[in-house]
Structure 1
């Protein structure tokens, strides 16, 4: 089986619906790259999953008076539906509570890593709430970040992205009841990253990373790589299969590594990755089947940096799986100056935006405002401006074009070849745009914000071309030149069914249906070709892009 290009988008936690911050971060961008590569005819896969066993899921369930499994399954289904409505197409999606064999594989992986000495016991202080009679970790506890001082959750600071051990939080407080936590000694299992410094630095030297991530890495190296807890005293999650830790559950970070390993190839999955149950040995893992040996390009938010930069590579290398080959990292998407958060219900929900504005508007908006290198602020007025732009620019040009074809060409493609005043220069500029789009969509130069700007420029040039050539219609000697100009505009419209497909697949599909062509072709200058003369066009009854 030939190796395929692999893209991963970090799993999301099903403690609520999908919000626009999720889409502005890894998911739409990863789908854009997948669509571009797939249109080129390359074997490409986009994999993702859900983090069903995060503490935020159980915390949500307690607040709603429900079982954690019901919350994970219910919101998990809503999230997958919203992904589809937003045009995000996964080739494989790991769902822990539903995938047969998943728990067995996680258990086997954990047992193996412990047996190999990768995971070791440590006794450390852990916050405890007396009134709730609960050990506090993850979303159950908040306090000051020991690295930057900002308010942080247990295990991770959302401000500086540094990990913590819960017990080193400043003034820890129980999230459930607000009681200041007391610290108790607790023996848990840990991944000591410092013991793997050499392997990690060798890996980091071999893979390119954006400056933001490189700076984060340098900070970790300077301060000393931390020990990361991989088990917690809890009731929600997968039981630790190690003697002496029966009352603990496997940390979600290890489960994300398991999801990664279960996605290492086209035929991978819980059933193919682990065929004999939890007692299978090392030879049963997914690295021995007919899967891709090439690691993925990973899309994730900066708050997941420790997992993707250090924890995952360490555990994957210990298992013998393929290491990541690159990183696409986004910053935070904010609302009213604060990071969007499902747990705090501080969000604009994807379903609401998709229902009101459609996937084209939402995808174009979050890509044009993608938080690359800096946080971005979501504004409903900005979304309205995006919708208005699609209407007054893209859709109005297409409406004028289809109206002209109906009135002057009986609704069919003209006999004339593409031409008109300025066509040669326009074709030259569009050829340049196609090459720039390929660069902006491609792996090495991936820049979706640039791609959106290029697409807008293509439409503006086509609209200007239409207006320049419109007077030819009123000249008896100019009718043929006018129809040639319409044929040229049809060529541009056909090109957009390919060029705009990665960004706005719904509208590109509508346009392709109207023109009688197939959407999603390669992003090349060859797409700049009008339908054959005499082909009857079927203009859509509503807006082409957005609604």
Structure 2
């Protein structure tokens, strides 16, 4: 006889609850299940998670709410509940007493696979999604490193969602009030508004040339109502008890008579010793104050900084630490962002200065302007609230560079909590690291860059987008060489897709036949078209987004289609297989239709031309289960790859 007893002193902390082993196959040979005692302390919530196992909770003591997906049930002693495989679940104990259970779990792979089959990826997509990107700072043009981060990847998601019939809107703008704009204006001997306007116009034109379609564009310097709207939101924030007006020592340049912050300060990060501007370190992502930098000096004149007292509004970020933890617990976050924010929360969040001694930005009077990052966060909330009011509730996905993690995953949520606008925060964060040129970061000041406009003019938007999505810096630093940047049209997928589509010109008179007799190979190719579509659908879920994985699978798709043609061409010449030949040709034309829809997020120019060539209306549509082109459809042969010019290979 083997016995086990519930023993709190023998429990360990896992899944954000207490667990104690009970019985498993390691105790009893052949036992087809595992089991643990569990206890969720009062006023806590267990970790939200899923397993491939089926699981059963048997309640021993206490009461709590068990959540499975969108369902929730309150359970008490003697009750039992079953949790299906891959169902995200958690236990919320709002009472004083612990919630004690026995968990019994078992693996049955057919059941797990059946659950996945019944829940295809597109069923997890919201009906309406707002896709936000941090507005680029208009102090210079965009290089490939900029485009490779959030901008093209976010456009890829928007197109994929629209092709699946979802309402998706792309929101970005230009970050006009950044200190980097004011610093550039000083160095160029002009005004910040001139810099923001001219450089901002160029940035918008570059995004358009890259096929990035922006639905809502925020341009603060050119919006006469921006300051009034943002000041109203700041009033909501300032009403929070976590906001105080204090006098603190601040880095200062006596030569330029400048309060040094952000772009005006330069030194070394006190945490990682990397070169850093004021208020944020790009290398480690940690916030700082300019006066905390090692060897801080004025970027304008190089004078070593001194300090002086300045009075300003300060926000106690730590006052919202618990709300921030809960928000991030239920949001989808990338591992690098999660590591940073959890570390900052564990160390204690620093206070954040909401007003700067500056003449550039939203004027707050007395020679002060709203901090540029606070301005950016409130602009985000203003846009999100307006979008919801105009079009209804939406799920928000935010694409951002890792160096912006603090501002978007800490400062933005805390400002939203303080203003009572938490419902307009992102549900998913999709981050990126940096794309390097060779072994070093892109650098405008050192001329170490490949400008986006030059690459787009030379290779066209399709080739540029494909290269940046193939080498997207997702979860890691990636690299592109100057040689490869000059030969973007030689990408293997770019060439293979054109060559395969060119081959349709040799298939006959361009008339699509109806299907005839099917072979096993035909059946499996049709199955492949549908299964690959589902796989690619899964890679555009914001929570599982992978541009790199998408490009790899799309390239494999084109190879498979080319191989299907190569093996089928022989059979089409056999007179006794005329009925099978019709099915073969119908499948080829269907594959072109599938490709156009699947490629549209990556190479929109090529995809739209293929869609039009197939006689299909509008923009490419991604079907859940693919239907054949109508028999008798006449397709005009696509232009051969040799006839393509950069200007023709994408839509402006």
Confirm whether residue 535 of structure 1 aligns to residue 634 of structure 2: yes
Q: 5+ residue gaps in structure 2?
A: 1-125
**CA deviation string 1:283-306 (max 9, x = no partner):** xxxx8x566455522111111111
Please say which of residues 300-309 and 467-476 is displaced more in the overlay: 467-476
Whether the 8 Å contact between 2:359 and 2:369 is mirrored in structure 1 is: yes
Contact 2:608 2:620 in 1 (8 A): no
TM-score where L is the length of structure 1: 0.88
Matches within 5 A, 1:441-456: 441-456=540-555
Residue 339 of structure 2 corresponds to 215
Find the partner of 1:424 among 511, 523, 544.
523
Q: How many residues are aligned here?
A: 518
Cα offset, 1:391, TM superposition: 4.8
- Provide the rounded CA distance (Å) in 2 between the counterparts of 1:536 and 1:508: 15
SS in 2 for 1:441: coil
Q: Deviations over 1:168-223 (max 9, x none)?
A: 11110111122222222222222221122222222222223222111101210222
Look up the match of 1:370: 472
User: Contact conserved, 2:128 with 2:395, CA < 8 A, in 1?
Assistant: no
Quick one: distance in 1 between partners of 2:403 and 2:631? Answer: 51
Q: Counterparts of 2:519 and 2:503 in 1: how far apart (Å)?
A: 17
Q: 1:5 to 1:525 in 2, by over 3 A?
A: closer
Contact 1:439 1:445 in 2 (8 A): yes
Partner of 1:394: 497
Q: Which runs of 5+ in 1 are unaligned?
A: 269-286
Q: Which of the two has higher C-alpha Rg?
A: 2
1:137-183 deviation digits (Å, cap 9, x = unpaired)? 11111101111111100111111111111011111011112222222
| 1:25–1:536 Cα change, 3 Å | closer
Q: Distance in 1 between matches of 2:514 and 2:527?
A: 23
Q: TM-score w.r.t. structure 2 length?
A: 0.74
Do the aligned partners of 1:498 and 1:527 also contact (CA within 8 Å) in 2?
no
Q: Following the alignment from structure 1 to structure 2, what is the Cα–Cα distance between the partners of residues 43 and 55?
A: 35
2:111 aligned with 1:4: no
Structure 1 78/418 Cα, relative in aligned 2: closer, same or farther at 3 Å? Answer: farther
C-alpha deviations, 1:478-502, integer Å up to 9, x for none?
Answer: 6665554333211111111211111
Q: Does 1:305 align with 2:408?
A: no
Aligned pair 1:257/2:377, yes or no?
yes
| Alpha-carbon contact 2:246-2:311 (below 8 Å) kept | yes
How far 1:519 sits from its partner (Å)? 5.6
Residues 1:464 and 2:584 are matched in the alignment: no
Contact 1:21 1:332 in 2 (8 A): yes
Inter-partner Cα distance in structure 2 for 1:41 and 1:521: 10
> What per-residue deviation string (whole Å, max 9, x for no partner) do you get for residues 396-425 of structure 1?
1111222x13xxx32333455596783222
Distance 1:292 1:160 in 2: 38
CA contact (8 A) 1:8 1:297 kept: yes
Matched, 1:240 2:364: yes
**CA deviations over 1:265-322 (Å, ceiling 9, x no partner):** 5x54xxxxxxxxxxxxxxxxxx8x5664555221111111111111111111222222
Q: RCO higher in 1 or 2 (8 Å CA, sep ≥ 6)?
A: 1
Aligned twin of 1:330: 432
Tell me if 1:157 matches 2:281. yes
CA distance in 2, matches of 1:431, 1:14: 44
User: Does structure 1 conserve the Cα–Cα contact (< 8 Å) formed by 2:144 and 2:449?
Assistant: yes
- Kindly indicate whether the alpha-carbon contact (under 8 Å) linking 1:127 and 1:136 is maintained by their aligned counterparts in 2: yes
Distance 1:43 1:345 in 2: 41
- 2-side partners of 1:45 and 1:211: how far apart? 26
Q: Which moved more, 1:176-185 or 1:529-538?
A: 529-538
Say if 1:309 and 1:525 are closer, same or farther in 2 by CA, change over 3 A.
closer
Report which of the two has the higher share of helix.
Answer: 1
Cα deviation, 1:413-471, whole Å, max 9, x if unaligned, reads: 34555967832222222222111011112233322211111111111011111112233
Instruction: Specify whether residues 527 and 348 from structure 1 end up closer, same or farther in structure 2 by C-alpha distance, changes over 3 A only.
Output: farther
**CA separation of 1:422 and 1:294: change in aligned 2, threshold 3 A:** closer
User: Measured at CA, do residues 443 and 112 of structure 1 come closer, stay the same or move farther in structure 2, by a change above 3 Å?
Assistant: closer
CA separation of 1:421 and 1:4: change in aligned 2, threshold 3 A? closer
Q: Which structure is higher in strand share?
A: 2
Matching residue within 571, 593, 602 for 1:503: 602
SS of residue in 1 equivalent to 2:312: strand
User: How far does the alpha carbon of each residue in 1:27-69 deviate from its partner, in whole angstroms, 9 at most, with x for none?
Assistant: 1121122112222222222211211011111222223232211
What per-residue deviation string (whole Å, max 9, x for no partner) do you get for residues 309-345 of structure 1?
Answer: 1111111122222222121111112123333345665
Structure-to-structure mapping, 1:460-499, within 5 angstroms: 460-472=559-571, 475-477=574-576, 481-482=580-581, 484-499=583-598
8 Å Cα contact 1:207/1:326 also seen in 2: yes
Say whether the 8 Å CA contact 1:15–1:343 is kept in structure 2.
no
Q: 1:138 to 1:515 in 2, by over 3 A?
A: same
- Taking the aligned partners of 2:460 and 2:445, their CA distance within structure 1 comes to 25
Q: Is the Cα–Cα contact under 8 Å of residues 501 and 638 in structure 2 kept in the other structure?
A: no
Q: CA deviation at 1:108?
A: 2.0
